[in-house]
Every structure is written in C-alpha cells, then in structure tokens.
Amino acid sequence: MNAASSECRPTTEQLSGVIERVTFHKDEIGSLFWRSKISARGSPMPRISCALAVLLLAGLTQAQQSASPVSPSINVGTRLLPPPHATVSVTGVSISEQLDGPDWWNDHATYHSIYSHGEMPNVAMTNRDGTVAFKTTLTAPNLDRIRVTDAAATKDGGAVATATVVDKTGKPTSFVARMDNSGTVIRQITTFPFMAEMTCPADDGTVWVFGWDFSENHGPHVPYAILRHYSFTQGLLKVALDWTAIGNSVLFGHQVAGGTAVACTARKAWVYYGARSQFIAYDEETNSFRTYRVQLPDGSPDDCGVSGFARTATGDFYASLNDGSEAWLGLYWLNLHDGVAEWIAVDAPGNFENGIRIFGSSGDDIVYARVAWQWPKELEFSALPPKMPSKLLLNADHRHRESHSQPSF
C-alpha cells in the first residue's frame, strides 16, 4: 500500500481521501515491537553451495505453490533462543474489537484502531499480568473519522498514541496524545501538517514520531524531516533525517515491502526501512546519522521482510522475518558492522502453523509468540543476554564455513 509519497504534495481534499483509503487497507497483522508498521517475511536455510541452494529453493517454492497454500516446515537447525521463563495472556482484548496489536513495550501491551468514526474504543492497554488497564476512545471536535496510527506504553504506566483525523467539513489534523494509566488524555500536541505514522516513547517522557509532512511549502523535490522529537511540555525539540536519507519516496503502512520500525532512547533513534533495505541510526546530541545497508539471510526469498522488531535494554536488535509463502519464518539478530546491517539466525522453526513472531521486548527479554499471522493467545518471554551476539556470530561463522565446503555424498 502506497500510503504516501514524498514525490507529490496532496491537497486537503486529497489528504482526506488518503486518510480514508489507508484505513480500508487494514489487515489482520499486528503492529510489532517496539513501535512498528510491518509487512512481513523471511528466514534462512543452510546451503551446500550457492547454486544448489537456488535450485532447491526454486523447486521448493514451485512444489509449495502447487501442493498447498500452507508451506511445510523448513528446518535450519538453529535453536539458540532460550526456553521462555514467563508468559502472559493477551486475551483481554479480542480480535472482534478490531484493534491492531499487541505491541509490547514498558511491560504493557497496547492496541490501536486503524480506522473508526469514534464510535468505539480505539486505544487499549493490558498490564503485565494480562488484565486490561484501559480501553479508551481518542476523538476530536466535530469528528467524522479518525485513524489511530500507533500506540505504545510509557515508562510510568500510561501510553502515547498518534492519530490523524478528518472533521465533518473535510478538514484534516493530526496529533500525539499522552494518556495516564486509566486511558485519560492528560496532554496533547498538534503535529499537523506533520502526520505521524509511528511513535516511540523515551524514558524521559519525550516521544519520537516518524511520518510525513504536508506543508504547502514542501514541493516534490524539497526535503523535509521524517523523524521528529517532541516534549509534551516544550513542544518540538528536534527535526531530523529528511526523506532524502532514505530515498526519493517514503512509504508507510502495513503493506510497505520489507517492514518499517522505529526504536529510541532519550537521545537516539533508529529506523528500520525495509522498502529501501536500510537501517538508520540517529544521534541527537551530534545531530548525525549513519545508514546501514540491510543484508538479508543467505538464501532467503526476495520478498523477505520484518514481521516484528525489538530493541533490548543492552542495545541489541532482534526481529522475526518471513516471506509471502510463509515457508521462511524465524527469529534473527541484527549484526551491525562495516556499514552493513546483517541478519543472523537465532531460531527458525518453520511454517505458518508453528512460526515465531516478535511483539516487543522487556529489558533483555524478547517478547514473542509461536504464531505467524494468527492472533496470539499468550506472549512468551525469553532472556537474550549480552553474550548472545557472540554465540550468534560463532554459529553464523560455523554455518558459513559449512556452506562453502565441498559437499560429501
């Protein structure tokens, strides 16, 4: 779904149409994370040789397409994810409520409605024990329709949410709201003409948002900042990372190939942009960013992408990847080196029925479920300690040597 492009400047009427069209493309997938909009896919398979892997993959894909819509399991022999030490039920919010989620952050799960007319709760949050903290309705004066684009729990037990609304006269606006632990809006910042699609609350109470700008002075070739840092008491703190850092267009929404995600601390932010195969690290103190080229797992399909993303307390990035056929599903660690963001396999169990998907993090725990696109009934917590990346690198190096050795028959 091409929700927006920096190559054109919509009028107010066009913008109203965009807001409405976007919402009708809602699908059953949940936002991940950490703060993300995801369009999913991928996991690796060990190779006897590069050429043989291509032949095997082509044959496997053809057989899967002709045999069954559900792909058989691919066993890659990677089992480095520790057993879960805790679980939490996420049945307090049901799929019938048409809320997107869960997203796990700051020990709460959040949900948001992609499109409504304000007639039902459009933001919900559950506690660490699975009980419902609140279900609330964000709205605006003279509301016609509202799209809550993202929501995330804050460190103090509340939540933040970003929304775009259109009133009954067709006039659009957008805002980021801060709610307390009962779901009551306690502060709100109007961000229009900047339209936020993803948000990440920092531990200091500020919030990062990622989106696009519909200012009249931004023509098709005029750069504008797509990453912005706000304080609920001071307003806009910083604008950074214009869209030319990513490419000649910026796309958002669930159908963005490769997936999109945002992570943050009080002074740093990271953007994973699968459509351009880029991972961008921004440092606010130096007002600088570094762009890494994303390297997908060896042998993975072309439509491999992120279905879930998380940053642990120690600063490691993990994601669940899969492809369109649901044959490649797994959990990966992002190895940043030499200008490359390389995915290293942690756990790759198989197919649509027994896949794995990340929904967020808690300290050094990865929060996930053994599902592909199904609505999860519970989330599992597994600790991935700081030493884990060294194990992953050793395992990846061993697999690399095996894949380039002469086959024995």
Average pLDDT (354-364) is 88
Average pLDDT (114-137) is 93
pLDDT reported for residue 396: 67
Q: What type of residue is 66?
A: S
Most confident of 40-49, 214-223, 288-297, 350-359: 288-297
pLDDT reported for residue 176: 97
pLDDT reported for residue 353: 62
Most confident of 46-55, 216-225, 257-266: 257-266
pLDDT reported for residue 70: 35
Please state, in angstroms and rounded to a whole number, the distance separating the CA atoms of residues 321 and 329: 6
User: Among candidates 116, 121, 118, which has minimal Cα distance to 92?
Assistant: 121
Confidence band for 292, pLDDT divided at 50, 70 and 90: very high
Give the tokens for residue 289. Answer: 């960013």
Please state, in angstroms and rounded to a whole number, the distance separating the CA atoms of residues 22 and 180: 28
pLDDT reported for residue 20: 38
Q: Are 348 and 330 in contact (CB under 8 A)?
A: yes
* Nearby residues of 31 by Cβ (< 8 Å), 6 or more positions away: 37, 38, 100, 101, 103, 112, 150
Q: Whole-model pTM above 0.85? A: no
User: Among candidates 290, 257, 255, 295, which has minimal Cα distance to 273?
Assistant: 257
Q: Which top CATH class is 12-60+95-306?
A: mainly beta
- In this model, does residue 223 exceed pLDDT 70? no
Confidence band for 243, pLDDT divided at 50, 70 and 90: low
- In this model, does residue 247 exceed pLDDT 50? yes
Question: Is residue 237 packed enough to be buried (19+ CB in 10 Å), middle (13-18) or exposed (0-12)?
Answer: middle
pLDDT reported for residue 267: 95
3-class secondary-structure state, position 180:
coil
- In this model, does residue 53 exceed pLDDT 80? no
pLDDT reported for residue 128: 94
Domain boundaries, the chain: 12-60+95-306
Task: Give the tens place of pLDDT for each residue, 386-396.
Answer: 777 887 787 66
Average pLDDT (349-378) is 82
Give the tokens for residue 46. Answer: 């060990």
- In this model, does residue 3 exceed pLDDT 70? no
> What's the whole-number average pLDDT of the chain?
75
Average pLDDT (63-85) is 55
Q: Are 198 and 151 in contact (CB under 8 A)?
A: no
Give the rounded distance of the alpha carbon of 104 from its chain centre.
11
Average pLDDT (132-147) is 94
Most confident of 147-161, 264-278, 343-357: 147-161
Residue 385's CB is within 10 A of a number of other CB atoms, namely 12
DSSP bridge partners of 257: none
Q: Are 263 and 279 in contact (CB under 8 A)?
A: no
Higher pLDDT, residue 282 or 397:
282
73-77, 152-156, 217-221: the lowest-pLDDT one: 73-77
pLDDT reported for residue 397: 56
Percent of the chain with pLDDT over 70: 68
